[in-house]
Amino acid sequence: MNTRKPADQLMRAVLWLFAILTVAPFALLVLTSLKSREDLLAGAFVLPARPHFENYVSAWVDGLFGTYFLNSVIVVVPVIVLSVVLGTLCGFAFAFLKLPGKPLLFGMLLVGMMVPTEAFIIPLYYEFRWLGLINTYWALILPQVGMSIPFVTLFMTSAMRQLPKDLVDAAVADGASPFRVLRYVIVPLLGPAASTMTLFLFIWTWNEFMIPLILVQDDARRTLPIGMLFFQGKYTIDIPILTAGAVITLLPIIIVYFFFQRKFIQGLTAGAVK
Amino acid sequence: MKSIQLSQVTKSFGVHDVIRPLDLEIEAGQFTVFVGPSGCGKSTLLRLIAGLEETTAGQIDIGGRDVTRLPPVDRDVAMVFQSYALYPHMSVGENIAFGLKIAGMPKAERVAKARETAATLKLEGLFDRKPKALSGGQRQRVAIGRAIVKNPSIFLFDEPLSNLDAELRVQMRQELVRLHQEVKATMIYVTHDQVEAMTMAEKIVVLRAGEIEQVGSPLELYENPRNMFVAGFIGSPKMNFLKGQVVACDNEAREISLDAFEGRKIQVSAKRGVGPLAVGQSVKVGVRPQHFQVDPDGPLSVTTSTIEALGNLTYLYADMGSDQLLCVETRGPGFRVGDALRLSVNPAEALIFDETGLRV
Amino acid sequence: MLHTNRFGNLKYVLPALLVYTAFVLLPIIASIVLGFTEWGGIGMPKFVGLANYAALLSDPMFFKALRNTAVLMIFYVALPLCIGLALAAAISHIRPGERMALRMLYFMPYVMPSAVLGIIWRWLYNPIFGPLNQVLRAAGLGALALPWLGDFNFALPAVGMVATWYYVGFCMAIFMAGLQRIDASLFEAASLEGASGQQTFRYVTLPSLLPEIRIVLLLTIIASIKSYDLIFTMTRGGPANETLVSNLYMYQLGFELNRYGYASAVAVIGAIFILVVNGIVHRFLPTDGDSA
């Protein structure tokens, strides 16, 4: 396409300007996180005399972001593993096996995809109180797995249906039981689907707000977004440390996003169009 | 080597009947071909025998044992798929040995068997390659190896050559026939290509819309088709069908006036007749392209519209109105588009079909 | 496919369904039931029939929340849709490599936790030391340096602009994928027939993007109904309920006022709105014969 026309060049410049404005808050965040509180008074866009990395130490240790970070990791890993394993087993049955009341089971899962967390957070809170699991990792992990299962199941079902049907037939003709078909033939071919799901589950769980907000009140169990919310309440004015905490919260996502952005964007938009 | 017997086998998907109640017997050790246009149910029938689909009704016996409710692995069958269905993440060796692994054979033993099989198929050098790195013909061989290694009594082939190029297809056809002579197993082969059926089969089963049209040896079907469908399906180029009325008939000959030739009459021998015929009855006369002669005294006059000169043979095509083309096989050069020709029909070879398409 | 007993196959789905039922489906059902009761969190809920829903109909706070959501739809739905469409159309003239880089930047907010973005924007909007007002003052527009989130008139649009910023890249990426889906020869045919850029956009691009437009509508409308994280962290509904939305109202009723039955009724209404939007869009979404 011809990009040498002046009009096109102007458009290009405007597009880049808006793109930079879009990510400017993140750049500002990093800049501010390296300032001292005195530097702040000089203006938001002024470079500090020297980078104050000690803000990160303060956030990590005094601001408890170290604890929050660890909690986020402790929650994200089992959520991904459990959701992918359970969703794959479930998706396999939906894709290839006979089940009693299959349409009903499928409809049941669809309900969970459409109803937002906010609609059932009150009973969920009382359920976990009744189970005695408020302020535990279980409270953060189990509902997240439950909410992820419909997505993973549907995604895996459609990924499996896209595999050549003959492969499954060949394995059946070779005498493989359903579980062995799954284990030896389907699972080795699901790598791309499973990695896409892993990315999504990582980001959904890392970013989750409602569940940790309601089901955990103990600072020692808070995940990063909630920790940040309460940090803000405690020290409203300590902007450098707050922004350092924000960078700690966002950095894992930014790193993953930079490495897998194509997969991310394609997955999220294609998933949406389906 | 086992026989197969299908009794009143039926398959429907929802309200859609794919296989109508159907009886068929396949002798042990025979090479049988299921042939028919796409959607005729031939692949479904094969998958029913394999056990990949469940019958809606009826019974399947293999080697005298009722296998209707048995899974594929207990039926002593092996199947070669159209797409080859090679496991993409496994090497050639692992693909061949997978069935043995599932059956619980120790590793050393199954690798040895897989190597032996690979050697007979000239795949030794490719044993550790992934399917992706193989040519179409090589993949085809691996798929066959995966069937052979199980030493089944019955081989099932689902259009296995349709993804190969023409030359390779001819070669593989011969290899499969040789394989049949060597392993002496019962083989069923599904194809939509009547040339494959004619060249490979000991017995052909012609299917249409879930029903068997005719069963017989290739020559039987060619010489004595039971109806217009079989007559038109077997043989290439297709048999010509000419509409007409019976003018006279006796035990010796039948005289038909042809609509497309201003009522010109041709004689057809009654020897090939199989049913009664009445004067005035509407019929179709089936004539294969090679059973016309270019004959200055012939009753049928045509004008050639297209010529296909193949060297040894020449096909002449003539318009007969209503989108129909008449195909005539001749020899030698010397024909040009627009030639007016006269044709006669070999009375001993023409067949007559009634209005329902049944041979009479 | 497999001759195994169908009840035996349940072992593949039961673990997943059990977790799902225990922590999603049962709470959903419980929420519906609670909506018909009065419950302070202790003792047995008292059945009150439709009283909660009747009360909602004359609850000014609830209507305030609905009104706010309606205004927010400008920022959640209309602006991201139009800007995203314009960006996608503009960006299609740029070299693929550069296009992907731009897309990555625009899309970035969408992968971030919206709660954290809310906190960041609270700082950006800060009236005294917030970077936004510093920019305005430096540009000589000190009169415009408002206390954004504390201002009765500007709090809602200020919150809304953050949502627009959040969803623009996502909408753009969907439209970019849609543009790729369109057969390039359509554009060539249009240019051969002498259509101008605007005419091509109006008569070729826009109609072809109808499926994407509908999807964007569905997702952003639902997002506006669900809106919670951003507003909770930016304003908590203030000032004086100027940014209150239904989920925030539900939170206040439940976890601050212990009116769990009434709060559940609010939650159920929100879920019904979402199901209705889903139904409407799916009803009018062209089905492409895809087996579901």
**Interface contact B70-C3, CB threshold 8 A:** yes
Q: How far apart are CA B209 and CA B39, in angstroms?
A: 7
**Interface contact C134-A96, CB threshold 8 A:** no
- Which of A167, A168, A174 has the highest number of chain B CBs within 10 A, making it the mutation to test binding with B? A174
Q: Tell me, what CATH number does B314's domain have?
A: 2.40.50.140
State whether B82 and B161 are in the same domain.
Answer: yes
pLDDT-derived band at C289 (thresholds 50, 70, 90) equals very low
Give the closest-approach CA distance of A12 to chain C in angstroms: 7
State whether B201 and B273 are in the same domain.
Answer: no
- What stretches in chain A show pLDDT beneath 50? 1-3, 274
Question: Tell me, what's the pLDDT at C291?
Answer: 31
Give the closest-approach CA distance of C5 to chain B in angstroms: 12
Please give the average per-residue pLDDT across B108-127, as a whole number. 92
Residues of C in contact with B52 (CB under 8 A): 1
**Interface contact A3-C95, CB threshold 8 A:** yes
CB of B87 less than 8 A from some CB of A: yes
Q: Does a structural domain hold residue C103? A: yes
Q: How many domains does chain B have?
A: 2
Q: Using CB atoms and an 8 Å cut-off, which of residues 112-151 of chain B contact chain A?
A: 146, 150
The residue segments making up the domain with residue C124 are 35-291
Q: Does a structural domain hold residue B37? A: yes
Q: How many domains does chain C have?
A: 1
**Interface contact B52-A184, CB threshold 8 A:** no
State whether B71 and B154 are in the same domain.
Answer: yes
Question: Tell me, what's the pLDDT at A264?
Answer: 80
CB C156 within 8 A of CB C243: yes
State whether B315 and B258 are in the same domain.
Answer: yes
- Structure tokens given for C91: 């960006």
Nearest CA in chain C to B50: C1
CB of B70 less than 8 A from some CB of A: no
Q: Does a structural domain hold residue C18? A: no
State whether B168 and B279 are in the same domain.
Answer: no
Give the closest-approach CA distance of B186 to chain C in angstroms: 24
CB of B72 less than 8 A from some CB of A: yes
**Interface contact A170-B85, CB threshold 8 A:** yes
**Interface contact C3-B52, CB threshold 8 A:** no
Amino acid at B316: L
CB C254 within 8 A of CB C40: no
Compute CA distances C227 → A123, B41, B72, C222, C236, whole Å. 20, 54, 54, 8, 12
- Structure tokens given for C128: 């005294």
CB C30 within 8 A of CB A125: no
Residues of A in contact with C98 (CB under 8 A): 12
**Interface contact B99-A167, CB threshold 8 A:** no
**Concatenated DSSP letters for A206-255?**
HH--HHHHHH---GGG--HHHHHHHHHHH-TT-HHHHHHHHHHHHHHHHH
Question: Tell me, what's the pLDDT at B15?
Answer: 85
Q: What is this structure's pTM?
A: 0.84
Nearest CA in chain A to B73: A175
Q: Does a structural domain hold residue C129? A: yes
Please give the ipTM for the structure prediction. Answer: 0.89
Q: How far apart are CA B147 and CA B170, in angstroms?
A: 21
CB of B170 less than 8 A from some CB of A: no
pLDDT higher than 90, residue B107: yes
> Which residues sit opposite B268 in a β-bridge?
B254
Question: Tell me, what's the pLDDT at C288?
Answer: 47
pLDDT-derived band at C2 (thresholds 50, 70, 90) equals low
Q: Using CB atoms and an 8 Å cut-off, which of residues 195-234 of chain A contact chain B?
A: none
Give the closest-approach CA distance of A259 to chain C in angstroms: 11
CB B330 within 8 A of CB B253: no
- Which of C2, C12, C174, C288 has the highest number of chain A CBs within 10 A, making it the mutation to test binding with A? C12
Q: Does a structural domain hold residue B288? A: yes
What are the tens digits of pLDDT across the range B241-253?
A: 999 999 998 888 8
Nearest alpha carbon to residue C112 among A225, A223, A273, A118: A225
CB B347 within 8 A of CB B272: no
CB of C272 less than 8 A from some CB of A: no
State whether B214 and B307 are in the same domain.
Answer: no
CB A207 within 8 A of CB A48: no
Residues of A in contact with B76 (CB under 8 A): none
Please give the average per-residue pLDDT across C252-274, as a whole number. 92
**Interface contact B87-A170, CB threshold 8 A:** yes
pLDDT-derived band at B240 (thresholds 50, 70, 90) equals very high
A210 CB neighbour count, 10 Å cutoff: 21
**Interface contact A173-B79, CB threshold 8 A:** yes
Please give the average per-residue pLDDT across B260-267, as a whole number. 88
CATH number of A32-38+50-269: 1.10.3720.10
Sheet containing B282-287: order of strands: B264-269, B253-258, B240-249, B282-287, B351-353
Q: Tell me, what CATH number does B33's domain have?
A: 3.40.50.300
Question: Tell me, what's the pLDDT at C292?
Answer: 30
CB A135 within 8 A of CB A217: yes
**Interface contact B69-C3, CB threshold 8 A:** yes
What are the tens digits of pLDDT across the range B21-79?
A: 999 999 999 999 999 998 899 999 999 999 999 899 999 999 999 999 998 888 999 99
Nearest alpha carbon to residue C148 among C126, C164, C123: C126
Q: Does a structural domain hold residue C184? A: yes
Question: Tell me, what's the pLDDT at A274?
Answer: 45
- Which of A265, A268, A274 has the highest number of chain C CBs within 10 A, making it the mutation to test binding with C? A265
What are the tens digits of pLDDT across the range B306-322?
A: 999 888 899 999 988 77
Q: Using CB atoms and an 8 Å cut-off, which of residues 65-104 of chain A contact chain C?
A: 82, 86-87, 89-90, 92-94, 96-100
Q: How far apart are CA B219 and CA B231, in angstroms?
A: 12
Residues of A in contact with B87 (CB under 8 A): 167, 170-171, 184-185, 188
State whether B78 and B167 are in the same domain.
Answer: yes
State whether B122 and B11 are in the same domain.
Answer: yes
**Interface contact A116-C274, CB threshold 8 A:** yes
State whether B244 and B221 are in the same domain.
Answer: no
CB of A167 less than 8 A from some CB of B: yes
Which chains reach chain B with 3 or more Cβ–Cβ distances below 8 angstroms? A, C
Q: Does a structural domain hold residue C106? A: yes
CB B214 within 8 A of CB B206: yes
State whether B205 and B342 are in the same domain.
Answer: no
Half-sphere exposure of A28 (CA within 13 A, CB side): 22
**Interface contact C23-A127, CB threshold 8 A:** yes
State whether B220 and B305 are in the same domain.
Answer: no
**Concatenated DSSP letters for B30-64?**
-EEEEE-STTSSHHHHHHHHHTSS--SEEEEEETT
Residues of A in contact with B85 (CB under 8 A): 164, 166-167, 169-170
**Interface contact C19-A146, CB threshold 8 A:** yes
Q: Does a structural domain hold residue B77? A: yes
Q: Residues 6 or more apart from B227 whose CB is under 8 A from it?
A: B213, B214, B353, B357, B358, B359
CB of A168 less than 8 A from some CB of C: yes
Q: Does a structural domain hold residue B140? A: yes
Q: Tell me, what CATH number does C166's domain have?
A: 1.10.3720.10
The residue segments making up the domain with residue B161 are 4-226
| Unique residue bearing structure tokens 């199989």 | B274
CB of B188 less than 8 A from some CB of A: no
Question: Tell me, what's the pLDDT at B62?
Answer: 95
Nearest alpha carbon to residue A173 among B52, B68, B96, B113: B52
Please give the average per-residue pLDDT across B167-185, as a whole number. 91
**Interface contact C1-B70, CB threshold 8 A:** no
Question: Tell me, what's the pLDDT at A271?
Answer: 61
What are the tens digits of pLDDT across the range C215-228?
A: 899 889 989 998 88
Amino acid at A245: G
Of residues C280 and C15, the one with the higher pLDDT is: C15
Q: How far apart are CA C292 and CA C279, in angstroms?
A: 16
Which chains reach chain A with 3 or more Cβ–Cβ distances below 8 angstroms? B, C
Nearest CB partner across the interface for C278, out of A8, A29, A114: A114
Give the closest-approach CA distance of B163 to chain A in angstroms: 14
Reduced to 3 states (helix: H, G, I; strand: E, B; else coil), residue B263 is coil
Q: Does a structural domain hold residue B231? A: no
